[in-house]
């Protein structure tokens, strides 16, 4: 079960929980599970990028999530 860390700004949509364990093989599955579990969180997820074991993906999709992965939802960043 991957450990998912939410930034404090999103915990208002998860009843205060900032660390969750989610079983999902890919990032897209993980986000879908989150949105299904916490319907109010869903619309906020287009503002996030996903870091899996320290590597940040601006386009969260089918990147693999291992059972031991540390996943962080981070703000989407634009470079210049």
Partner 1 sequence: MSERVFKYIGTRPIRHDGVDKVTGRANYGADLTLPGMLHGAVLRSPHAHARIVSIDTSAAEAVAGIKAIVTGKDFPETTAKLALGEAAIDLHDIADNVIARTKVLYGGHAVAAVAATNPDAAREALSKINVVYDVLKPVLTVDQATAPNAPILHDAMVTKGVKDAKGPTNVAARMELKRGDVEKGFAEADVVVEREYRTPTVHQGYIEPHACVARFGEDGRAVVWCSTQGPFAVRDQVAAIVGIDPALVKVIPSEIGGGFGGKIVVYLEPLAVALSRKAQRPVKMVMSRDEVFKASGPTSGTKIRVKIGAKRDGTVTAASASLYYEAGAYRGSPAGAGMACAYAPYKFPNFFIEAFDVVVNKPKVAAYRAPGSPMASFAVESTLDEIARELRLDAVDLRLKNAAAEGDHAPYGPAYGPIGVKTILDAVKNHPHWSAPLGRNQGRGLALGFWFNGGMNSSATVLLNPDGSAAVITGNPDIGGTRAAQALMVSEELGIPVERVRPIVADTDTSGMTDVTGGSRVCYATGMAVINAARDVREQLRARAAKIWDVDVESIKWEDGQAIPPPGVEKAPHPLGVADIGAKMAHTGGPIVGRASLYAPMAGPGFGAHICDLEVDPETGRTTILRYTAFQDVGKAVHPSYVEGQIQGGAAQGIGWALNEEYVYNPSGLMENAGFLDYRMPVASDLPMIETVLIEVANPLHPYGVRGVGEVPIVPPLAAVANAVRQATGIRFTELPLSPPRVLAGIEQASRQPVGVS
Find the shortest distance in angstroms from Cβ 69 to partner 1: 11
64 dihedral zone (left: phi>0; alpha: psi -120 to 50; beta): beta
Give how far the C-alpha of residue 66 lies from the chain's centroid of Cα atoms, to the nearest Å: 14
* Nearer to partner 1 among residue 26 and residue 72 (C-beta): 72
Find the shortest distance in angstroms from Cβ 53 to partner 1: 8
Interface with partner 1, residue 35, by CB under 8 A: no
Question: Measured in Å, how far apart are the chain's first and last C-alpha atoms?
Answer: 36
* Nearer to partner 1 among residue 24 and residue 50 (C-beta): 50
């Amino acid at each position: 079960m991957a450990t998912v860390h939410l930034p404090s700004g999103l915990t208002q949509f998860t009843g205060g929980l900032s660390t969750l364990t989610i079983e999902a093989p890919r990032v897209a599955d993980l986000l879908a599970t989150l949105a299904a579990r916490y319907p109010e969180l869903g619309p906020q997820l287009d503002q996030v990028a996903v870091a899996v074991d320290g590597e940040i993906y601006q386009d969260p999709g089918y990147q693999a999530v291992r059972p031991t992965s540390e996943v962080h939802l981070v703000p989407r960043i634009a470079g210049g």
